[in-house]
Amino acid sequence: MKFQTKSKKVNKAWLHGHINDPYVKMAKRDGYRARAAYKLKEIDEEHKLFKPGQVVIDLGAAPGAWSQYLRRRFAPKEAGIGGAAVGKLNGTIISLDLLECEPIEGVQFIQGDFQDESVLQLLESTLAGRPVDVVVSDMAPNLSGIEGCDAARISGLIELAVDFSQRHLKQDGVLVSKVFHGSGYNELVDLFKSTFKKVKTIKPKASRDRSSETFLIGIGLKAQAIVAADQ
């Protein structure tokens, strides 16, 4: 007689849930690499973030679903359904991730750790002084399970994204960042409030209920939060 271990049961339940997840089905149908595309789509539809011609930075971009969505938004005519468009691109998308990412036509990808000074410099040299309209960050570090340690790593990455935004966003630019409820959350909301004129939170429907993730949207830099890019 064979006994199922608890973890096998959990894996089976996760797999069952994943296969039957409507967003997983939609991503497959629409040619997106991950269901995450629908989170950004919903945030965009609700807050009207993206317009053709913009400069957008996608942090924590792999496997590339958000960049696929952006690539499609910046195609002169959004042809067909989902996935990344090809051909003319009206806008600039620079994506960055620790992991490799299968290329997306027209999207400039940098592989490296956003926390590394050399990677940040590479990102800045790719930008070549162009002010940024929107920074989106879906970065999530690998978690250790030690709450205090994980909260500090999550907050550290988000603080860096805010710092980058202060240096490179246009005055009316926007930062969208994934955050997690738990320790450090209130401090991050305070950081957003001291940096941006308007701060909104959104939990897109595509974000699983059981996940503590939510998204903070910072709109328009406060005058005192703007930092000259070369400082």
The count of other CB atoms within 10 Å of the CB of residue 132 is 21
Paired with 214 in beta bridges are 179
Which of the following is catalytic: 6, 25, 51, 178? 178
> Given the complex with ligand SAM, which of 163 and 226 has the nearer CB atom?
163
> Given the complex with ligand SAM, which of 141 and 220 has the nearer CB atom?
141
Cβ of residue 145: shortest distance to ligand SAM, in angstroms? 16
For residue 60, CA distances in Å to 114, 153, 203 come to 8, 14, 18
Cβ of residue 24: shortest distance to ligand SAM, in angstroms? 13
What is the contact surface with ligand SAM in residues (CB under 6 A)? 33-34, 36-37, 60-66, 96-99, 113-115, 138-141, 157
> Given the complex with ligand SAM, which of 127 and 226 has the nearer CB atom?
127
Active site includes 178?
yes
The count of other CB atoms within 10 Å of the CB of residue 229 is 13
Q: Report phi then psi at 144, rounded to 5.
A: -95, -20
Cβ of residue 1: shortest distance to ligand SAM, in angstroms? 40
Token reading at 9: 């049961």
The count of other CB atoms within 10 Å of the CB of residue 167 is 15
Our CA angle for 139, 40, 103, nearest 5°, is 65
> Given the complex with ligand SAM, which of 147 and 172 has the nearer CB atom?
147
Cβ of residue 68: shortest distance to ligand SAM, in angstroms? 8
Is 103 within 8 Å of 109 (Cβ atoms)?
yes
| Residues with catalytic function | 178
